[in-house]
A and B are shown apart, each in its own frame.
Chain A
Amino acid sequence: MTDARIRPDTDPTAAGVVRTTPEALAELRAVTSRIASAMESVIEGKPAVVRTAITVLLAGGHLLIEDVPGVGKTMLAKALARSIDCSVRRIQFTPDLLPSDITGVSVFNQDLRDFEFRPGAIFANVVVGDEINRASPKTQSALLECMEESQVTVDGTTYSLQRPFIVMATQNPIEMEGTYPLPEAQRDRFMARISMGYPSTAAEVEMLDLHGGRSPLDTLVPVTDAQTVARLVLVTQDVYASPAVRQYVVDLANATRTSPAVRLGASPRAALHVLRAARAHAALEARDHVLPDDVQRVAPAVLGHRLMLSGEATLAHRSPAEVLAEILRSTPVPIGRR
């Protein structure tokens, strides 16, 4: 399967510098609210989850959705993918899935007498990786490498992935049989992890009504295109983070490392992810600068899955979210003096 859009080292928005002008922010707000309402027509009663997903999209990160079966993990991923007019690939991870299924493979073309690259499922704007913990670690690693590098190297040739590029992986925490849980280092590649949680009673009743006949996904029409989203990602990257905010992010990361309740704290990559997510959060509020409040809002989703609690904390039945909330409370916000 060839795709005309696949060109090595191409970037649709590389030309020109994108700035957080009020117009750009207004466009960003309009587009994201369209995406949000489109998604919420499918995922009822989960505005926070939808918002986090959009934040991750704008921040150029990847999303790990972890919850029990049947609460709409895949639905969320699909809804986000469908609301953007872009290429979508869904990979159902199984134990026998091979890395080449993901990255692609060079095959010998008899006619041309040459090797030809057949791109794998990763060559898309939105990649939905279902049940990611069912694949073997080898396959997982191939995916995660692509996620980190935004490029694929097969047989010495490097292929750049499309922009925007977001991987939304789902995993099931309770089915342990025949799964290969993501190691900590690999979980770290995901910008944020969210849990869907059960819908409220009213939302569930509404859902039964809407989803009773056919899937609302079928009626979902794209509200924007890949190029716009790619531009918005660049706008987001231009959101200003003052030294005080950067200091605050580092302070938070340090606090997770020194907290007695945490065995493994946030990595520098985690700090980077926090700042990127905070930028996106600020941009979603049409602000061209990051506030400590943005950092606080995104920190639970961004840091939650990276913390490994110490033995005592685990024995005390403390969850990473609790520990993180305490760290947020106790870390003072630096007062910016320029």
Chain B
Amino acid sequence: MTRRGANPALAALASLAALLGLTTLVVTQTWYARTIWFVFVAVGIGALIRRFVSRSGWLIVPAQVLGVLLMATWQYAGSTTWWGVPTWSTVGRFTELFTLFGTTVAESSAPLLANVGVEVTLALIGAGLAILVDALAVTRAAPAAAGLPLLTAFLAAAANSGSALPPAYFIIAALAWLLMLGRQAQVGMRGWASAAARPMAPISGAALDSAPELRFGTIARRLGAVGLVAAIALPAVLPHLPPRYLLDGLARSADGAGRGVGKVGFNSTLDVGLSLTSGGTGTILTYRTNAPAAAPLRVLAATAYDGTNWSRPAPTLGRSARLDLADTVVRSERTIVVESNALDPPSLATPQPILSADLSGVSWQVDVATSDVSVQTRPNAYSTTYLEPVLTADLLREGIDGRPGPDRLPANRTMSAALAVDPRSEAAIRALTTTVTAGAATPYDEAVAIQEWLRSKGGFTYSLTLPEAPLVSGVVGDPISAFLQTKTGYCVQFTSAMVMMSRAAGIPARVAIGFLPGSQDGGLWTVTAGDAHSWPELYFPGAGWVRFEPTPSVRTGTAPSWTVPPVTPTPLATSTARSTEDPLDRPDRDAPDDADDTTTARTELDLPILDRVLSWVAQIPHLFLLVVGLVVVATLVLPVTAALLRRVRSRRGGPPNEVIEAHWELFTSELHDLGITTPAGGTLRDSQAHVARAGYLGEPARQSLATVVDTVELARYARPGTSLTVDLEPLTRSVISDVARTRSWRHRARALMLPGDARRWWGWAGMSLRSAPRAVRERIRRR
């Protein structure tokens, strides 16, 4: 890259790096590809104008804007142009596109489903950023100022979705900006006359420190180090910023302590086909409860499935919900006191079924069918009372109040909706359910069999990242079929599968969305964004909606005691035994018990990082892996060849003078790689003087070099029979390392990656390979 082209290219790079964060806000990234085009068009126009027309700025920005707009017009509103020239209807078309973007942003939460409006708007924003950065960093030569728009772009990404932005985005953007800054500083330094005159004499350590222009570098480096340390240490020390401020994406996620900094919106729909990327550590709720074991907090229950999304039917609001619990079931009333709440209205998280609630003055209602609570405004603290029925396997299997079977189901709209199987995957689900529930006598046994199959027997893997959906006769199949085929997913997929399979078995089922109980510290429970969860609720007459747990992750813990029949010989025996001793003691979902569940612990170990890495690797197309592998191999060929050659040469016997000549050849070749070419046709002493001067050798290295040269001279010119020291390796090593110390990183990298003798060897090998057939032919002809 030429010196002139480097600055605009760096500006483009920095802009694209800062925009990288925005990719987390959109589901598909076609807009980013467009942005790359737009950015390069803008920067390219700027570079061309600076090169050929004028270096002053007034012309550049309008030309860049015009260029990008024209490109966007041809791309997105080609039909409205008149021979490529925008017309009045082009403006209308863009208004439509921008309106579409506005509507999308207003109606859906991040990540946005990409449509053409989102695409064009984001791409234009990206291009605008690049134009601004280009103008500041290149035209005005002030890359430091360009940091502001870059930071704005990054913050826009950081502030606009509900989860933490991985620190990698910040690091990449910051590095790109620093690169730009460093490059500018370097160009500035080159202008100083003294910088070029310096390296004529060997530089000693003391001289290095005393040279004034080098002292500037030292000061700058120290300032940089201090600044970096301060940037990390200060947030930890300052009282109102958590220590993981930077790592949590500038703490954009909620800390939930009632300061109003963090809020969490809860989407009322649940996309089954979407990877869960919004894991986080932001606190949603803190609460205390009088229940011996905290129950999951439900936000809503969804019954309707449209092939991709779960959604709840329009609620019938009232003051209290219908309770389907038979009077004979033993129950306890539990209370939960929420001390801080970051959940946006209208959602409210509480264990169900709810009996009463005190929302500290905020008005609230419940959905009669699901008992979901909805609120007008967000209560900062509240308490609710809920029922905790004592359910056992026997009770559910035998039926309560003599109401065991599906024939006793209440016939209403809710129930029929809770029995609807997704038509796209119905055939597969029904076939599968028949297999899985074979031998089950009661609906309860069927449900247990389905849960057991999903948790362990079916061979499913828990992963937050979904694999590529397999193609069914050429098209992407529906998410549930895909899940049953890939057997990889997280709670949403497990839950959806269980709900659909239960419905196929004739058990009404729905998806509950909410939070796991969280972690406990001294009676105070903390629910974070990472505790978001979904689970199936199955309807059993007399018992109402009963929670099941088909998701086999460490966090979700063991299945509820009532979903595990005591007779079943499973590794869950511990929990079962305990639950029979004390029915109130539900299996604790938190850490201590996790180890009990050896099956799930071993097979579905929730190792987020490793899991993610592995699943990423699994997602990368094989061709790409092949290409990467080939690139790695190609990169390593020359260094490895060089190392092997060196080894072979140093071990090769033969006359001492030949060994010494080989050493010398290798030595000069390595020096050449480091950018010091010994004068061709000169004497050895000329080479010695040149290397000592050009390599700024220190005294020990000069001595080593002199010994090497003396030995080679003896080998070449002395009387035959003169005794020779053969082992020059340590001496040449010391000289090479001394020379490498003074060379630029480019030279060092070249010496490492593209060693000259390895290149020559391959050239020679290639040549002899090409000439081999001819040599063989000639030999044959001679015979």
Q: Is there a chain A Cβ closer than 8 Å to B716's Cβ?
A: yes
- Do B681 and A244 have beta carbons less than 8 Å apart? no
Q: Which residues of A contact B682 (CB under 8 A)?
A: 333
- Do B681 and A333 have beta carbons less than 8 Å apart? yes
Contact partner, A296, options B680, B683, B713, B717, Cβ 8 Å: B683
Once bound together, how far apart are the Cα atoms of A335 and B678, in whole Å? 14
Once bound together, how far apart are the Cα atoms of A336 and B714, in whole Å? 10
Q: Is there a chain B Cβ closer than 8 Å to A128's Cβ?
A: no
Q: Which residues of B contact A289 (CB under 8 A)?
A: 714, 717-719, 722
The answer to whether A331 and B718 touch (CB under 8 A), given A291-B713, A337-B661, A338-B657, is no
Q: Which residues of A contact B714 (CB under 8 A)?
A: 289
Q: Is there a chain A Cβ closer than 8 Å to B239's Cβ?
A: no
Q: Which residues of B contact A117 (CB under 8 A)?
A: none
Once bound together, how far apart are the Cα atoms of A270 and B682, in whole Å? 22
Q: Is there a chain B Cβ closer than 8 Å to A292's Cβ?
A: yes
Instruction: Identify which of residues 40-91 in chain A touch chain B, using a CB-to-CB cut-off of 8 Å.
Output: none
Q: Is there a chain A Cβ closer than 8 Å to B215's Cβ?
A: no
Q: Is there a chain A Cβ closer than 8 Å to B685's Cβ?
A: yes
The answer to whether A240 and B681 touch (CB under 8 A), given A291-B713, A337-B661, A338-B657, is no
- Do A245 and B661 have beta carbons less than 8 Å apart? no
B716 and chain A: residue at smallest CB distance: A336
When each residue 128-167 of chain A gets 1 if its CB lies under 8 Å from chain B and 0 otherwise, what string results? 0000000000000000000000000000000000000000
- Do A240 and B683 have beta carbons less than 8 Å apart? no
Q: Number of residues in A with C-beta < 8 Å to the partner?
A: 19
- Do A242 and B680 have beta carbons less than 8 Å apart? no
Contact partner, A242, options B661, B681, B683, B717, Cβ 8 Å: B717
Q: Is there a chain B Cβ closer than 8 Å to A188's Cβ?
A: no
When each residue 709-728 of chain B gets 1 if its CB lies under 8 Å from chain A and 0 otherwise, what string results? 00001101111101000000
Q: Is there a chain B Cβ closer than 8 Å to A277's Cβ?
A: no
When each residue 225-244 of chain A gets 1 if its CB lies under 8 Å from chain B and 0 otherwise, what string results? 00000000000000010101
A336 and chain B: residue at smallest CB distance: B716
- Do A290 and B717 have beta carbons less than 8 Å apart? yes
- Do A333 and B683 have beta carbons less than 8 Å apart? yes
Contact partner, B719, options A240, A293, A330, A337, Cβ 8 Å: A240
Once bound together, how far apart are the Cα atoms of A289 and B720, in whole Å? 10
- Do A242 and B718 have beta carbons less than 8 Å apart? yes
Q: Which residues of B contact A292 (CB under 8 A)?
A: 683-684, 717
When each residue 20-35 of chain A gets 1 if its CB lies under 8 Å from chain B and 0 otherwise, what string results? 0000000000000000
The answer to whether A331 and B681 touch (CB under 8 A), given A291-B713, A337-B661, A338-B657, is yes
B658 and chain A: residue at smallest CB distance: A337
Contact partner, A293, options B661, B680, B685, B718, Cβ 8 Å: B685
- Do A335 and B683 have beta carbons less than 8 Å apart? no
- Do B716 and A288 have beta carbons less than 8 Å apart? no
- Do A245 and B717 have beta carbons less than 8 Å apart? yes
- Do A291 and B683 have beta carbons less than 8 Å apart? yes
- Do A288 and B719 have beta carbons less than 8 Å apart? yes
- Do A293 and B683 have beta carbons less than 8 Å apart? yes
Q: Which residues of B contact A291 (CB under 8 A)?
A: 683-685, 713, 717
From residue A331, how far is it (CB to closest CB) to chain B in Å?
7
Q: Is there a chain B Cβ closer than 8 Å to A332's Cβ?
A: yes
From residue B41, how far is it (CB to closest CB) to chain A in Å?
53
Once bound together, how far apart are the Cα atoms of A9 and B717, in whole Å? 35
Instruction: Identify which of residues 127-182 in chain B touch chain A, using a CB-to-CB cut-off of 8 Å.
Output: none
The answer to whether A332 and B680 touch (CB under 8 A), given A291-B685, A337-B661, is yes
From residue A281, how far is it (CB to closest CB) to chain B in Å?
13
Once bound together, how far apart are the Cα atoms of A296 and B722, in whole Å? 24
Once bound together, how far apart are the Cα atoms of A288 and B683, in whole Å? 18
B655 and chain A: residue at smallest CB distance: A338
Instruction: Identify which of residues 683-715 in chain B touch chain A, using a CB-to-CB cut-off of 8 Å.
Output: 683-685, 713-714
- Do B716 and A244 have beta carbons less than 8 Å apart? yes
Identify the interface centre among B661, B714, B716, B717: most chain A CB within 10 Å of its CB: B717
From residue A217, how far is it (CB to closest CB) to chain B in Å?
37
Q: Which residues of B contact A332 (CB under 8 A)?
A: 680-681
Once bound together, how far apart are the Cα atoms of A245 and B680, in whole Å? 17
From residue A286, how far is it (CB to closest CB) to chain B in Å?
13
Q: Which residues of B contact A335 (CB under 8 A)?
A: 661, 716
- Do B683 and A336 have beta carbons less than 8 Å apart? no
Once bound together, how far apart are the Cα atoms of A242 and B684, in whole Å? 15
Once bound together, how far apart are the Cα atoms of A336 and B720, in whole Å? 12
From residue A209, how far is it (CB to closest CB) to chain B in Å?
36
When each residue 155-195 of chain A gets 1 if its CB lies under 8 Å from chain B and 0 otherwise, what string results? 00000000000000000000000000000000000000000
A333 and chain B: residue at smallest CB distance: B683
Once bound together, how far apart are the Cα atoms of A335 and B661, in whole Å? 10
Once bound together, how far apart are the Cα atoms of A172 and B657, in whole Å? 50
From residue A237, how far is it (CB to closest CB) to chain B in Å?
14
The answer to whether A242 and B685 touch (CB under 8 A), given A337-B661, A338-B657, is no
Once bound together, how far apart are the Cα atoms of A292 and B713, in whole Å? 10
From residue A275, how far is it (CB to closest CB) to chain B in Å?
13
From residue B441, how far is it (CB to closest CB) to chain A in Å?
95
- Do A288 and B717 have beta carbons less than 8 Å apart? no
Once bound together, how far apart are the Cα atoms of A336 and B683, in whole Å? 11
Q: Which residues of B contact A288 (CB under 8 A)?
A: 718-719
Once bound together, how far apart are the Cα atoms of A245 and B681, in whole Å? 13
Q: Which residues of A contact B684 (CB under 8 A)?
A: 291-293
- Do B719 and A336 have beta carbons less than 8 Å apart? no
- Do B681 and A336 have beta carbons less than 8 Å apart? no
B713 and chain A: residue at smallest CB distance: A291
B680 and chain A: residue at smallest CB distance: A332
From residue A330, how far is it (CB to closest CB) to chain B in Å?
8
Instruction: Identify which of residues 240-295 in chain A touch chain B, using a CB-to-CB cut-off of 8 Å.
Output: 240, 242, 244-245, 288-293
Q: Which residues of A contact B657 (CB under 8 A)?
A: 338
Once bound together, how far apart are the Cα atoms of A292 and B716, in whole Å? 10
A248 and chain B: residue at smallest CB distance: B683
Once bound together, how far apart are the Cα atoms of A105 and B719, in whole Å? 47
From residue A118, how far is it (CB to closest CB) to chain B in Å?
46
Once bound together, how far apart are the Cα atoms of A329 and B720, in whole Å? 28
B665 and chain A: residue at smallest CB distance: A335
Q: Which residues of B contact A293 (CB under 8 A)?
A: 683-685
From residue B652, how far is it (CB to closest CB) to chain A in Å?
16
B719 and chain A: residue at smallest CB distance: A240
From residue A324, how far is it (CB to closest CB) to chain B in Å?
16
Q: Which residues of B contact A245 (CB under 8 A)?
A: 717
When each residue 475-514 of chain B gets 1 if its CB lies under 8 Å from chain A and 0 otherwise, what string results? 0000000000000000000000000000000000000000
Q: Which residues of A contact B720 (CB under 8 A)?
A: 338
B720 and chain A: residue at smallest CB distance: A338
Q: Which residues of A contact B683 (CB under 8 A)?
A: 291-293, 296, 333
From residue B204, how far is it (CB to closest CB) to chain A in Å?
29
From residue A280, how far is it (CB to closest CB) to chain B in Å?
16
Once bound together, how far apart are the Cα atoms of A333 and B722, in whole Å? 22
Once bound together, how far apart are the Cα atoms of A330 and B683, in whole Å? 12
- Do B718 and A240 have beta carbons less than 8 Å apart? yes
A337 and chain B: residue at smallest CB distance: B661
Once bound together, how far apart are the Cα atoms of A227 and B719, in whole Å? 27
From residue A131, how far is it (CB to closest CB) to chain B in Å?
39
From residue A4, how far is it (CB to closest CB) to chain B in Å?
40
From residue B668, how far is it (CB to closest CB) to chain A in Å?
11
B657 and chain A: residue at smallest CB distance: A338
Q: Which residues of B contact A337 (CB under 8 A)?
A: 661
When each residue 314-338 of chain A gets 1 if its CB lies under 8 Å from chain B and 0 otherwise, what string results? 0000000000000000111101111
A242 and chain B: residue at smallest CB distance: B717
From residue A336, how far is it (CB to closest CB) to chain B in Å?
4
Q: Which residues of A contact B680 (CB under 8 A)?
A: 332
Q: Which residues of A contact B661 (CB under 8 A)?
A: 335, 337
Would you give 17 A-B contacts (Cβ < 8 Å), ordered by A? A240-B719, A242-B717, A242-B718, A242-B719, A244-B716, A245-B717, A288-B719, A289-B714, A289-B722, A291-B683, A291-B684, A292-B717, A293-B683, A293-B685, A331-B681, A333-B683, A337-B661
- Closest 4 A/B residue pairs (Cβ): A332-B681, A336-B716, A240-B719, A289-B718
New contact pairs (11) apart from A289-B722, A293-B683, CB-CB < 8 Å: A240-B718, A288-B718, A289-B717, A289-B719, A292-B683, A333-B682, A335-B661, A335-B716, A336-B716, A338-B657, A338-B720
